[in-house]
Amino acid sequence: MRPRLDAKLGIGRAIALLESPFIVIREASLMNQDAKKTALRMIPYGIYVLTADDGKGGIAAATVNWVTQTAFAPPLIVVGVKADAASYRIVKAAGTFALNMLGKDQKPLAFTFFKSAEVRDGKLSGHGYHSGVTGAPILNDVPAAVECRVKTIVAEGDHHIVVGEVVEAHLMKPPTGRPDAAILEMKDLGDNVFYGG
């Protein structure tokens, strides 16, 4: 039994759908945008600072939150990075990056890297850092960081998915409880700060 087609599609579109091996029940333009936005905002997000150094004077630092681990062996993480951002270009050129984890008390640090980073007086947007084994900047005051080698990039949508293999880890401030409870989350930034949807 074929699913009912939305009456707004029109007869020509309905016939094309019925002849197609793929049946689309609703076109994206007919989606309830408020429901989509709210549902996607229900996904919890940690807050991180992605850093990279291309070795040619290009240093990037940007607050990111679309992050997850995807494999144990080898240890892989994925990060959604805005495709038209300077940080994306630098990560691609460097082939490496660091993901600096922000602690619950580091809300101001998250807001610092919502805008373009600058290196001045040996600091990255006013914060001390050092180079990791990959050359990526590691922020001195974060609880932990991982350095990654770019394995692949999935270029879809306005944010591309950077898949990185963890090649080094730094633990500057070991957590006292659950490690995932120590991380700053999107909800900690305020009632009106969202990135999903």
Count Cβ atoms below 10 Å from residue 152 Cβ, excluding itself: 12
Residue-level pLDDT at 179: 93
Query: CA 35, CA 170: separation in Å to the nearest integer?
Result: 40
User: What single-letter DSSP state applies at residue 132?
Assistant: -
pLDDT, one tens digit for every residue, the chain (197 residues): 444 444 444 444 444 444 555 555 555 568 898 898 888 878 888 999 999 999 999 999 999 999 999 999 999 999 999 999 999 999 999 999 999 999 999 999 999 998 888 999 999 999 999 999 999 999 999 999 999 999 999 999 999 999 999 999 999 999 999 999 999 988 888 877 666 55
Query: CA 62, CA 9: separation in Å to the nearest integer?
Result: 42
Where are the chain's structural domains? 7-40, 48-189
Class for the domain spanning 48-189 = mainly beta
Residue-level pLDDT at 4: 46
Query: CA 6, CA 9: separation in Å to the nearest integer?
Result: 6
Query: CA 193, CA 114: separation in Å to the nearest integer?
Result: 12
- In angstroms, the Cα distances linking 76 to 70, 150, 168 are 5, 10, 12
Count Cβ atoms below 10 Å from residue 86 Cβ, excluding itself: 16
- In angstroms, the Cα distances linking 97 to 22, 37, 54, 91, 138 are 39, 30, 9, 6, 10
